Structure 1
Amino acid sequence: MALREALREWLSLPDIEPAEDYGFFGPDSVAWKVWSYPTGLTIGFQRAVVIEELDPALIAAVDATHAIYDRPRTRYDRTLRYFAMVMFADSRSTTKAADVLVKVHSKGVGIDPVTGKQYDANDPASQLWIHLTAWHSLLVAYEKYGPGRLSAQDEASYWDECARAAELQTCDPADVPRTREGVRRYFEQVEPQLIGSDAAKKAMRHLLRADVMLPPMPWFLAPFFLVVSAFLRRGTLATMPRAMRKMAGLPTSRLLDLLVVAPLSAAFTLVSLNARLEIILLRLISPMTVPVAAPALLGIPPRHPVTTTPREAQRRFGYANPSQAHLELRAKQRERVLARGLAPDDQGIVESQPILGNIA
């Protein structure tokens, strides 16, 4: 009886509220199609957060907080929720989240112990790296384990939408490549700056362990998800360039890369046919993401079925362009950390919790 009740509770869906509007993309966008496929918020997201750690500035900020080790589940949950908000949430809440995220990132300042250079999580170059790595990773996962390569027209739309989303970051949307070739050139240009430091290797191995990111789950599902997490890890590795894997000391087996494709593609296809199942699985991976993504996955229209752009929403709701947002706070954080040797203020983290979820 207890097992039956636990199973019934696990299979039930939470109450889903319609969004205020379609945000910045909507169901007719290519980005929505790619990100809503089951590969997006699983392998695509995991690939992005793993590869990002090769940037010395980013890993310096990550390692300074130690949050991915001290609270991996909440860190994962909050980050995935923000990813989903950019794509699926309404324009009002997403612009607010992006504005608060500038405050959160204001904490990420210091001196990189590997390069000796200053780092700043709000630096436009760092934000462009994060942004493009995310959008590229979700597309790579979609094309490898999902429906396949986008048409030329859809691909052009996808990168235009990527540039639109960059209006939520401190980077310049004009710097976002608009073609697959342009994205390839970008990664070639940044590759010499990437470093497989000890901190990066440790973080990448940690973030590839999907099991440490999962919240507590029913005991009868634990063995199943150990197997799932092993497949996800191998599937994520198979999408990563071998040069990056070698830099990070990660496995590079071509045979295993090949063998994992068929079972994962079949699994993702089955999940894609049942939105309810996709939401149930998403709740296990990231409970905070469900209210954001569920209306899109279930096809529940918003109260106002319209889209806008981040710049238009920022003007309407009174938020500054992220590159110019909270300059005083950012200057204070740099002064505290770089000049006085103090820990940064937690103002942004505190303000973000009602939006992105508690950190405890």
Structure 2
Amino acid sequence: MGVRRQQDYGFFGPGSVTWRVWRYPTSVVLGFLRAVVIEELDPHLVASVDQSGQVKQRPKLRYDRTMQYFATVKFGDAESVLRASDTLVKIHSRAVGDDPVTGGRYDANDPDSQLWIHLTAWHSILYTYEVFGPGKLTEAEEAQYWEECARAAEFQTIDPADIPRTRDGVRAYFAAYRPRLVGSEVAQDMMDFLLDASTTVLPERMPAPLRFVFNTIARRAVIATLPRWMRKLGATRQSGLTDRVAIALTRPVVRAVAASTWLQVWALRLASPRTVPILEPVLRGVPPVRPVVREPAEARAQYGITDPREQYAAILAERARQAGPVPYPKHHREELLPFPA
């Protein structure tokens, strides 16, 4: 079967720093695992994840679908991005409930929660790219990266103005958010579960010895990128020596995969089959039907899709009238996002 062509370059394209960083093989496992592990320290988010039950019930499917969504936003054509964004807001509209740790109420569409997930993902993908890949971006490239991060925020309920535009700004965001993080038993248990790549990433057909070796190194490599205070909070402590060994073992493997398009596609098929139709054209340099980068407002007008913040405002108005989407029951089976398989 040939590689399917996208309709256009979507909202970033080959000249973007986003394509360079997010297409690098560190993003598929190390960057993604780092992001989802850190996210669990937010008590509202982990309450939503725990009460849904989907991560532990269907870990590989959840991983695959999440990777598919992130890949769609970065590499998909404009219509695919907007429809995925629209669907995600609708699915999240039912993900509301009580947080037993703080006594508060979680809402998956809440802009603060979305900003935490968004920045954790973009920072983790960049940081693992720096540690295990080519190294740091130039000052100009990093400035462009965070501008593009703000553009990607337009496909969630986040106000793009809330996105920091510098490394110092990102650090300040995480420092300000730190008092809200909680290393609860549920958070620590979920972090430990997600760090097991053999459960969340690797296909069952992979031989057990290879699964053990991969998981042992990948787990320690991800922990090596976490700050000490975060490891303590998540009960994921590890010695400095183990950090150095894990990085030294992982870096050459990652760079070898990055040097081969065949290896990248092969690894992607193992880890996230749903992401292959989206990312393979980029990895193989297959141009879209129309090689243009789109503007969000122009594309929304063409396809008649509402801005996520407007969608969320309408959802809140419905809730105020005690109407609108009914919250998911505990341990429900979520709808599948209508992405190409």
TM range (shorter): over 0.9
Return the offset for 1:263. Answer: 1.9
Give the 5 Å matches for 1:10-89: 15-89=2-76
Q: Deviations over 1:184-223 (max 9, x none)?
A: 000000000000111111111111001112364545x442
Is 1:124 paired with 2:111?
yes
Task: Report the counterpart of residue 306 of structure 1 in structure 2.
Answer: 292
Task: Report the counterpart of residue 7 of structure 1 in structure 2.
Answer: none
Give the 5 Å matches for 1:257-268: 257-268=243-254
Is 1:207 paired with 2:191?
no
Alpha carbons of structure 1 residues 337 and 198: separation in structure 2 relative to 1, 3 Å: farther
User: Which of 160, 172, 181 is residue 185 of structure 1 equivalent to?
Assistant: 172
Residues 12 and 75 in structure 2, CA contact (< 8 A), matched pair in contact too: yes
Structure whose residues are more often helix by fraction: 1
User: What's the secondary structure of 2:97's corresponding residue?
Assistant: strand
Is 1:150 paired with 2:137?
yes
Task: Report the counterpart of residue 293 of structure 1 in structure 2.
Answer: 279
Alpha carbons of structure 1 residues 75 and 331: separation in structure 2 relative to 1, 3 Å: farther
**Paired amino acid for 1:41:** V
Alpha carbons of structure 1 residues 244 and 271: separation in structure 2 relative to 1, 3 Å: same
User: What's the secondary structure of 2:106's corresponding residue?
Assistant: strand
Q: Deviations over 1:300-348 (max 9, x none)?
A: 111111111333322221111101116555666795899x98738x89x
**Paired amino acid for 2:86:** D
Distance in 2, matches of 1:336 and 1:196, equals: 35
Distance in 2, matches of 1:323 and 1:281, equals: 36
Distance in 2, matches of 1:125 and 1:214, equals: 28
Over aligned residue pairs, what C-alpha RMSD do you find? 2.4
Task: Report the counterpart of residue 229 of structure 1 in structure 2.
Answer: 215
Is 1:99 paired with 2:101?
no
Alpha carbons of structure 1 residues 16 and 222: separation in structure 2 relative to 1, 3 Å: farther
Task: Report the counterpart of residue 90 of structure 1 in structure 2.
Answer: 77
Return the offset for 1:271. Answer: 0.4
Distance in 2, matches of 1:217 and 1:226, equals: 12
**Paired amino acid for 1:15:** G
**Paired amino acid for 1:93:** S
**Paired amino acid for 1:354:** P
Task: Report the counterpart of residue 337 of structure 2 in structure 1.
Answer: 353
Residues 231 and 237 in structure 2, CA contact (< 8 A), matched pair in contact too: yes
TM-score, reference length from structure 1: 0.89
Residues 84 and 338 in structure 2, CA contact (< 8 A), matched pair in contact too: no
Alpha carbons of structure 1 residues 232 and 103: separation in structure 2 relative to 1, 3 Å: same
Residues 106 and 333 in structure 1, CA contact (< 8 A), matched pair in contact too: no
Residues 245 and 251 in structure 1, CA contact (< 8 A), matched pair in contact too: yes
Distance in 2, matches of 1:206 and 1:310, equals: 37
**Paired amino acid for 1:77:** D
Alpha carbons of structure 1 residues 216 and 143: separation in structure 2 relative to 1, 3 Å: closer
Distance in 1, matches of 2:264 and 2:169, equals: 33
User: What's the secondary structure of 2:286's corresponding residue?
Assistant: coil
Alpha carbons of structure 1 residues 129 and 251: separation in structure 2 relative to 1, 3 Å: same
Distance in 2, matches of 1:174 and 1:277, equals: 38
Task: Report the counterpart of residue 10 of structure 1 in structure 2.
Answer: none
Task: Report the counterpart of residue 174 of structure 1 in structure 2.
Answer: 161
For structure 1, the 5+ residue unaligned runs are 1-13
Residues 19 and 74 in structure 2, CA contact (< 8 A), matched pair in contact too: yes
Aligned residues: 340
Alpha carbons of structure 1 residues 337 and 168: separation in structure 2 relative to 1, 3 Å: closer
Give the 5 Å matches for 1:334-349: 335=322, 343=329, 349=334
Task: Report the counterpart of residue 256 of structure 2 in structure 1.
Answer: 270
**Paired amino acid for 1:223:** P
Task: Report the counterpart of residue 165 of structure 1 in structure 2.
Answer: 152
Task: Report the counterpart of residue 238 of structure 2 in structure 1.
Answer: 252
Return the offset for 1:86. Answer: 1.0
User: What's the secondary structure of 1:119's corresponding residue?
Assistant: strand
User: Which of 198, 202, 211 is residue 185 of structure 2 equivalent to?
Assistant: 198
Return the offset for 1:234. Answer: 0.9
Alpha carbons of structure 1 residues 315 and 31: separation in structure 2 relative to 1, 3 Å: same
For structure 2, the 5+ residue unaligned runs are none
**Paired amino acid for 1:238:** A
**Paired amino acid for 1:149:** K
Task: Report the counterpart of residue 322 of structure 1 in structure 2.
Answer: 308
Return the offset for 1:229. Answer: 2.0
Alpha carbons of structure 1 residues 232 and 341: separation in structure 2 relative to 1, 3 Å: closer
Alpha carbons of structure 1 residues 124 and 266: separation in structure 2 relative to 1, 3 Å: same
User: What's the secondary structure of 1:168's corresponding residue?
Assistant: coil
User: What's the secondary structure of 2:28's corresponding residue?
Assistant: helix
